[in-house]
Structure 1
Amino acid sequence: AKHSKKPATAASSQTTVPGPSYSQRLDALQAADDIAQRQHLDRDWVRQTLGQANYVAAIAKAVTPPAVGVAKNWQLYRSRFVEPLRIRAGVAFWLAHRDTLQRAERETGVPADIMVGILGVETIYGQQTGNFRVLDALATLAFDFPASHPRAVERSAYFRTELEQFLSWTFSSGRDPLALKGSYAGAMGLPQFMPSSWASYAVDFDGDGVVDLLGSPADAIGSVANYLKTFNWQPGLATHFPLEFDASKLDMAALMAPDILPTFSVENFQAKGVVLGGEALKHTGKLALIELQNGDAASSYVAGTDNFYAITRYNWSSYYAMAVIELGQAVAQAMPH
């Protein structure tokens, strides 16, 4: 799971030319010593491993924010994910793993179409899991996160924590830290879990004694479901409801203030100018106003529930969450009956 506002894409498949290694960087070597002490790892192994990491300019570029004034475009974003190739791959994946998806849904309450949507948006069901060395990605972003980013200090600290988790995990599991490939952010496997998410939420769903998100679709399915369950997925609850606005009562500033965190009761929502109907009127939980910008055209809006918010805990983007939902729905509709 990726806590990133960057639009999700299937992990980059580009080949990169490695830059200088971190073997002579004093800050990296000091970090290696600190990691070894905190995690009770062999100091020489951590130093030697981190010393073989390379700075990759393409990774730093990938996390650099777009130029100010570049409008978000939901329809363009959607077209990258809800498209024939992913839908066909999703149908094949669902048919191949129907029993596993049903078991995960039964045990967690997370619907199969949501799990299928996430795995399709993330990696096209394992087809594109990334060609960056995870060690390079995490080291680049830990020690050379672009200073132009408005949250550079915070993000650099986050990736130092992920680097520590990665080194601890590879040391204890015996995996080769130099061989693992992933996204530009260091996310791995079919569900693109960061090292900390692997440690906290990944499960051995096929029962073979090993948690393997790289090669086991069952473990990927179970881990995605477990992740959403942990972030308070509520079985049977819709992710969102359609809405309209009553211009005479509309208080857009108040509605947008909490961002995507469900805050408003149905009554409060309606008092601020949102018109709901059907199932939405029976909703007893909180709602959030979700805005999806469409470039120069008018924005789209929906009423997001706690389950919409749960998907954004996987990737901090409403566009990502809606792409997951709509890809899952499209695959479900394309399934043979």
Structure 2
Amino acid sequence: MAPLWLAASLLPAWAHASPAAHPAAKKQTSTHSPRPAAKKVSKKNSQPVQGTLPYGHRADAMAFADDLAERRQLNRDDLRHALSQARLLPGVPKLMLPPSSPTAKNWQAYRSRFVEPIRIGAGLRFWQQHRATLERAEQSYGVPAAIIVGILGVETIYGQQMGTYRVIDALATLAFDFPAAHPRATERQAYFRSELEQFLSYHQRAGSDPLLPRGSYAGAMGQPQFMPSSWVKYAVDFDGDGKIDLFNSPEDAIGSVANYFKGYGWQTGLPTHYPVRLEGSAQDKEALLLPDILPTFSVASFSAKGGLLSEAGQRHPGQLALVELQNGGAEPSYVAGTENFYVITRYNWSSYYAMAVIELGQAVAQALPR
């Protein structure tokens, strides 16, 4: 079993959570266009239903449905019917709690879980099969194919592991039973209520069944593990078949990941990071680490604090951040992160995650036949 700090950093919810989940993040808003009136949701689901205690017996859940119907002009009975069939997942709230005894972070151990033969081989096959789509996404959005391949490999091994929880159960559990012991319980519960609202609204306007989608225990869905607000805002019909399907269409997943990064400010042609060697004082290092992964320092100020950059890094046109990757009891690793490195952390706010995405994509690219 992976250390809890590692498991928490993999949680797709943080990737698509309110940007306030990271102290340096910028706020974003989610919108969607009106859709046709909803059809009645089915009362049957062919897959086994996990969990206990349906939320139909909860006054707070039904009040939520009533309020949502009024605010968004949705069908109240359909919302109540759908939410009444959501079930509490007893084991999920505890997965949100920080570990009582944190394990020391270890970049090399973390990296080995993702930059490894199974994912590299699957990524190679995926890239070869969808080369034209990846090239089109790169041309359309400016996001390198290697970054898209890295994301889909880290998240779901290219659709092999998309989650088995009913999304409505996961979101309802975290919206109404988020653990009070969490240090940011109020903020996180509000976030999951917002995601449940997006999820129910989307399905009613689309006329689709909210009881069917399966995903992570935090409600992330499809090959790219989008949360509902990200699906609404960034998912695109990249295969041109008239619908968006992030579960079964690799083309839609590729285009949607690229659109997500473009939406968060990806800069075409800009590297994600540069090598760096530290030769400043302990105070200089502390000052460089203070803004965390938010690019804050010009090349001149970065260098003045002892951050010795490569030749390419010295020509960087924008701001930089000192990214520290701890290696357990060994010396940490450091890179100088650019604005594009920061954009990757909008998918998941862990710098370890961002580096794993980058290095998996690079490994797959290197495995491609020349």
Normalising by structure 1, we get a TM-score of 0.95
Q: What does residue 31 of structure 1 align with?
A: 64
Deviations 1:268-315 (A, max 9, x none): 001111111220011010000111111222211110000000000111
Contact 1:239 1:305 (C-alpha < 8 Å) held by counterparts = yes
Show the 5 A alignment for 1:136-285.
136-248=169-281, 251-285=284-318
**1:99 equivalent among 121, 126, 132:** 132
Name the CA shift for 1:306/1:253 in 2 (closer, same or farther; >3 Å): same
Show the 5 A alignment for 1:279-318.
279-318=312-351
- Residue identity opposite 2:60 in structure 1: D
Name the CA shift for 1:237/1:268 in 2 (closer, same or farther; >3 Å): same
Separation (CA, whole Å) in 2 of partners of 1:35 and 1:5: 33
Q: What does residue 8 of structure 2 align with?
A: 6
SS of alignment partner, residue 302 of structure 1: strand
- CA apart distance, 1:16: 8.2
SS of alignment partner, residue 241 of structure 1: strand
Deviations 1:116-154 (A, max 9, x none): 000000100000000000000000110111112111110
Contact 1:73 1:294 (C-alpha < 8 Å) held by counterparts = yes
- Residue identity opposite 2:328 in structure 1: G
SS of alignment partner, residue 298 of structure 1: strand
Contact 2:279 2:306 (C-alpha < 8 Å) held by counterparts = yes
Name the CA shift for 1:330/1:10 in 2 (closer, same or farther; >3 Å): farther
- Residue identity opposite 2:357 in structure 1: V
Contact 2:295 2:342 (C-alpha < 8 Å) held by counterparts = yes
Name the CA shift for 1:124/1:55 in 2 (closer, same or farther; >3 Å): same
Separation (CA, whole Å) in 2 of partners of 1:169 and 1:248: 53
Name the CA shift for 1:186/1:293 in 2 (closer, same or farther; >3 Å): same
Name the CA shift for 1:124/1:10 in 2 (closer, same or farther; >3 Å): farther
Separation (CA, whole Å) in 1 of partners of 2:325 and 2:90: 31
Deviations 1:217-272 (A, max 9, x none): 10100000011011111111110001111145861221111111000001100111
- Residue identity opposite 1:8 in structure 2: L
Q: What does residue 49 of structure 1 align with?
A: 82
Contact 1:204 1:212 (C-alpha < 8 Å) held by counterparts = yes
1:19 aligns with 2:52: yes
- CA apart distance, 1:111: 0.3
Runs (5+) with no aligned partner, structure 1: none
The structure 1 segments of at least 4 consecutive aligned residues displaced by more than 6 Å after TM superposition are: none
Name the CA shift for 1:49/1:153 in 2 (closer, same or farther; >3 Å): same
Separation (CA, whole Å) in 2 of partners of 1:174 and 1:33: 19
| Equivalent residues, number | 331
Contact 2:54 2:88 (C-alpha < 8 Å) held by counterparts = yes
Separation (CA, whole Å) in 1 of partners of 2:90 and 2:49: 8
- CA apart distance, 1:174: 2.1
Separation (CA, whole Å) in 2 of partners of 1:183 and 1:303: 32
Separation (CA, whole Å) in 2 of partners of 1:185 and 1:178: 15
Name the CA shift for 1:280/1:56 in 2 (closer, same or farther; >3 Å): same
SS of alignment partner, residue 333 of structure 2: strand
- CA apart distance, 1:6: 2.6
Normalising by structure 2, we get a TM-score of 0.86
- Residue identity opposite 1:124 in structure 2: I
Contact 1:108 1:226 (C-alpha < 8 Å) held by counterparts = yes
- Residue identity opposite 2:10 in structure 1: A
- CA apart distance, 1:67: 2.2
**1:81 equivalent among 114, 126, 139:** 114
- CA apart distance, 1:17: 4.4
Q: What does residue 119 of structure 1 align with?
A: 152
CA RMSD of aligned residues (A): 1.8
Separation (CA, whole Å) in 2 of partners of 1:201 and 1:118: 15
Separation (CA, whole Å) in 2 of partners of 1:150 and 1:10: 19
Q: Which is further off, 38-47 or 65-74?
A: 65-74
Separation (CA, whole Å) in 2 of partners of 1:30 and 1:286: 47
Contact 1:10 1:123 (C-alpha < 8 Å) held by counterparts = no
Separation (CA, whole Å) in 2 of partners of 1:61 and 1:299: 30
- CA apart distance, 1:83: 0.8
Deviations 1:8-62 (A, max 9, x none): 1699xxx984121111111111111111111211111111111111111222122
